[in-house]
Amino acid sequence: MAMENMLQHSPCQSFGTDCKELIAMIKEPQEWPSFATELEKIETLQICFPDFKITHVPRVGNQFSDFLAKTARNFRRELLFIGYSIPVWLPRPPQA
């Protein structure tokens, strides 16, 4: 979903995730046959990103993104956010 949204809204080529399995799936798709359909879609989208890169971001360093994703799941409508600052209407994440 992030890749599809970036195609429409940003020239970004670099993605980060705290999911090591996702990175392994993208690097070695043949090792994950049960995800073949999803991985085909990712491979198709990668063609649109000539300098595509995905990196592992430890969850400790990804708390803000994790908070945004969890908050977005609670919305009862489609929510798209691409940016680097917190929207003023979004509640602040709890301090660790």
CB 17 within 8 A of CB 56: yes
Q: Give the residue extent of every domain in the chain.
A: 2-57
Q: Vertex 85, ends 14 and 38: CA angle to 5°?
A: 40
CA distance 67 to 94: 9
Whole-model pTM?
0.58
Distance CA 7, CA 78 (A): 17
61-66, Cβ contacts within 8 angstroms, sequence gap of 24 or more: 62/16, 62/18, 63/93, 63/96, 64/93, 65/16, 66/18
Residue type for position 1: M
Encode pLDDT of 32-82 as tens digits. 999 999 999 988 888 888 888 888 888 787 777 777 777 767 766 665 555
- pLDDT value for 25: 93
